């Protein structure tokens, strides 16, 4: 018959109780860690989509500042700017575009002629997103006379409004509206094109 030494039994019992404590600690810590991980992923994706939206305004403003004033076909130039913006916005994962504006910007405030982003009037163009067609609808407004001549050229602004959907199901439905804008001065055009 085998005899167990008392210290060996204590070690065996201690390891069983420690294993039980570890399982209980894991049962408490694991859900917290999973929620934390989901939160990090959700807000990381939201940050990425906000960054893509901001980059899209820079892409549009850069293209508009270089090509819009000298273009003889302003409709084609505006469509080209919108196409570049839409290509960038195609990288969005959890966000949906709402509207895109291209406008004559106030150099000090960066705002359109109306003074806000509720009414597109004056030298302003606006496209609204259609979820049904996954494309921008026909343009509203126009900017037919951009000043790219002389030392005081106009500023062009590009504004994008998008909604970020942070719906993981764990924290309830939540959307955040992102408003990004970039303004740049129109590139001066060749003096022979100036009237």
Q: What is the pLDDT of residues 23-48, one digit of tens each?
A: 888 888 888 888 888 878 888 888 89
**CA neighbor of 153 nearest in space, from 75, 81, 79, 65:** 65
**Range with lowest mean pLDDT among 66-70, 107-111, 168-172:** 168-172
Confidence band for 58, pLDDT divided at 50, 70 and 90: very high
Helix (H) or strand (E) holding 13: helix 6-67
Q: What is the pTM of this model?
A: 0.82
Task: Read off the tokens for 184.
Answer: 């740049």
pLDDT at 62 over 90: yes
- As a whole number, the mean pLDDT across the chain is 86
Hey, where are the domains in the chain?
6-193
The count of other CB atoms within 10 Å of the CB of residue 188 is: 16
pLDDT range class, residue 14, cuts 50, 70, 90: low
Give 11's pLDDT tier (boundaries 50, 70, 90): low
Dihedral sign, Cα of residue 134, residue 38, residue 175, residue 56: negative
Q: Over the stretch 129-181, which tens digit does the pLDDT of each residue have?
A: 999 999 999 999 999 999 988 888 999 999 999 998 876 666 566 788 999 99
For the cut 60, the answer to whether the pLDDT of residue 10 exceeds it is no
- DSSP strand pairing (175-185 vs 155-165): antiparallel
CA distance 169 to 125: 37
**What average pLDDT does this structure show over 76-88?**
96
Residue 96 is predicted with a pLDDT of 93
Query: What does the pLDDT read at residue 175?
Result: 83
Contact between residue 123 and residue 109 where contact means Cβ atoms under 8 Å apart = no
């Amino acid at each position: 018959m085998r005899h167990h030494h008392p210290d060996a039994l204590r070690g065996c019992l201690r390891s069983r109780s420690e294993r039980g404590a570890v399982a209980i600690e894991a049962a408490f810590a694991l859900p917290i860690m999973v929620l934390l991980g989901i939160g990090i992923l959700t807000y990381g994706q939201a940050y990425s989509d906000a960054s893509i939206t901001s980059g899209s305004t820079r892409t549009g403003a850069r293209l508009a500042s270089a090509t819009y004033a000298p273009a003889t076909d302003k409709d084609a130039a505006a469509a080209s700017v919108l196409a570049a913006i839409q290509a960038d916005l195609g990288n969005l994962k959890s966000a949906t575009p709402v509207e895109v504006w291209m406008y004559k910007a106030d150099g000090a405030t960066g705002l359109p002629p109306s003074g806000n982003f509720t009414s597109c009037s004056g030298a302003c163009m606006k496209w609204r997103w259609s979820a049904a067609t996954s494309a921008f609808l026909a343009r509203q407004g126009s900017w037919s006379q951009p000043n790219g001549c002389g030392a005081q050229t106009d500023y062009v602004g590009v504004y994008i409004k998008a909604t970020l959907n942070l719906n993981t199901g764990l924290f309830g439905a939540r959307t955040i509206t992102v408003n990004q804008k970039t303004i740049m001065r129109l590139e001066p055009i060749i003096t022979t094109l100036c009237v």
